[in-house]
Every structure is written in C-alpha cells, then in structure tokens.
Amino acid sequence: MKRIFPILAVFSAAFLAYTTYRNLAVAPTDALQGDVYRIIYYHVPSAWTAFLLFFINFVASIQYLVSEKPSAKAAAKWIVIAIGVVGVIASFLPQVQAMLPTGMRPSAVATTVIMIPAFYFLIGWLFPGQRLDVLAVTSAEVGVVFCTIVLVTGPIWARPVWGIWWAPGDIRLTSTLVLWLIYVSYLVLRKFSSSAQTQMLAAALAVFGALDVPLVYFSIWFFRTQHPQPVIGGGGSMDPKMLDTLLMSWMAFLFFAFLVCWARFRLEIMKRDVEEAHAMESLVGAGAGKASAPLTRSSR
C-alpha cells in the first residue's frame, strides 16, 4: 500500500482536476438556469456516492449481525438469493411495470436488484469476521462526508433558483437530512459508547438507517416535491456533453471515495490491532502481579 497509494492519490487528484475543468469549461451552459446549474456535477455525484457507501454499510451490517449464528447466516443467504430471483422476475411483470416511474426501464430495475445478492456475497467473501464491522464503520464515515456535500451544495443551488435556501416540508430534502442525522447518530454511537454490544447496536441502527435511502431516491417520483425531477431514468433528457461530464464526475468521486475508504480501513485495522495488543499487555501484567503477590508476602 505504501508504494501504490501515492500513485493512486496523484491519479485521483489529476482526475478530479480534469473533471473540474470539464464541469466549468467544457459542459455547455444550461439555457434556463445559466451557470448555476453546474453545481449538479458535484451535488449529484456526491449523492450517488453517499447512497452506494450507505448500501455497503447496510450489507456489511447485516452480515455482521448474522455472523454469530450459523443458522441466521444461512437464512440470510437464502433470503438474499430469493430477493434477487423474485426481484428480477417481478421487474418484467406488467403489473409491476405499470408502477414504475416514467422512463425507468424494467431491465434497469432487474440489474439493480441482481446487484443486491452480488454485493452481499462479494462483501462477505472479501471481508470476513471483524473486517465486516471495520468496513461498516469506514463506509459510514465516508458516506456521511459525501452526504454533507449534498446538503451543502443543494441550498447553494436553491438560493438563486428558488429564491430560498431550503424548502420546508419538501420530502426529498427532509428525508435526506434525516438520513444524514441517522448516520451521524451511528458514528456518535460508535465513538462514545463503551458497551460490549456497541457494534451490534450500531449494526442494527445502520440497517434501520439504510431504509431511508430508497425513500430519498424515489421521493421525487411518488410525492409532490419542489426538488427537480431526474433527467436520467426519469423520462427527462440531458445534453450528451452534460451527461458525459456528469458521469465522469461521478467516476472521479467514486475513485476518490475508494482511496479514502481504503486509507480509513487500514487505519481502523491498525487501531484495533494496537488496542488488542494493549489489552493483552494489561492482562499479562495483571497475571504477573497476581503471581508475584504470594512471594512478596512470604518474603516479609
């Protein structure tokens, strides 16, 4: 890691700089909003990255919760497989297609559903045991950072377009704020709780918090909201140069998030190794003290 990480960090910085150039100079100006729309190249990729990280946290938390009992682990495995199979089949049923938002393709829904078991088994294979908990806290921390960017950039765009910083009662804005608060609470619990059940409690809170992600994503389709409708997968349209720039910005954000998660994951592993070593030293020291106590009394 010491050799490759600096190289990847330089590449990430260059990639982010290039996407910034495209965001500001290459992408055309929006005919209605003007240049203020360009904040979309930071707002939307940050939201997508946060959702992905919270999904990883959700999967890792579930696997950590069921890891202690083989029966629960086996049941969760078959439930995930069933969700994938049933979800793919249901995506192509006429009754389900009629419920989908305008412009959303059944094949896209099926692909998204099949990613759930794929992520589940991939994460369980790559991160066994306590590494699941490390992955959960790492993805939550970085996810909160990107979710914070979403909450900051949104009002910056809204002020010149809507005339207000925040639309009270808007379901998309409110649910996003709730999502941020849930995961901040998750991190506070991990930081300040000293209970032996902290990891389990945090995992349960993460599973609860992840349920807000679909609400945030689908709120603009199923509720009346002031938030703009999606231009990707929602029946809208977008200039090809704008779309290319948006997707490239997301790739840059994903790569940057990967590097931050990688570094944070390694740091958390080392932190736990140090804490375990200190705990072992304390136990050995306490045992040695007890063993020498009778000799001290006999010497008197």
- Which is more confidently placed, 55 or 222? 55
Q: For the chain, what percent of residues have pLDDT higher than 90?
A: 34
Place of tokens 């990883």: 56
175-231 confidence digits (pLDDT tens) = 889 899 999 999 999 888 777 788 889 889 998 888 888 777 776 666 666 666 666
Question: Of 24-33, 42-51, 151-160, which has the strongest mean pLDDT?
Answer: 42-51
pLDDT at 297 (0 to 100): 46
Overall average pLDDT of the 157-186 stretch: 83
* Domain ranges (residues) in the chain: 4-67+129-299
Contacts of 226 (CB under 8 A, 6+ apart): 162, 167, 170
Q: What's the pLDDT tens digit per position in 244-264?
A: 889 999 999 999 999 999 999
Compute the average pLDDT of residues 111-131.
Answer: 88
Rounded Cα gap, residues 61 and 198, in angstroms: 12
The Cα–Cα gap between 54 and 186 comes to: 12
pLDDT classification of 232: cutoffs 50, 70, 90 = low
Lowest mean pLDDT among 66-75, 190-199, 267-276: 190-199
pLDDT for residue 295 is more than 50: no
Kindly state the average pLDDT of the residues 34-48. 89
pLDDT bucket at 236, cuts 50 / 70 / 90: low
In this prediction, residue 33 has a pLDDT band, given cuts at 50, 70 and 90, of confident
Distance between CA atoms of residues 39 and 24, nearest Å:
9
Judged against a pLDDT cut of 50, whether residue 152 lies above it is answered with yes
Count CA atoms closer than 13 A to 242's CA, side-chain side. 15
Residue 134, judged by CB atoms within 10 A of its CB (0-12, 13-18, 19+), counts as buried
Residue pair 57/136 in contact (Cβ under 8 Å)? The answer is: yes
Cβ–Cβ < 8 Å for 167, 228: no
Could you tell me which of 7, 100, 17, 47 has the C-alpha nearest to residue 228? 47
pTM of the model: 0.86
Please tell me whether residue 129 adopts helix, strand or coil conformation.
Answer: coil
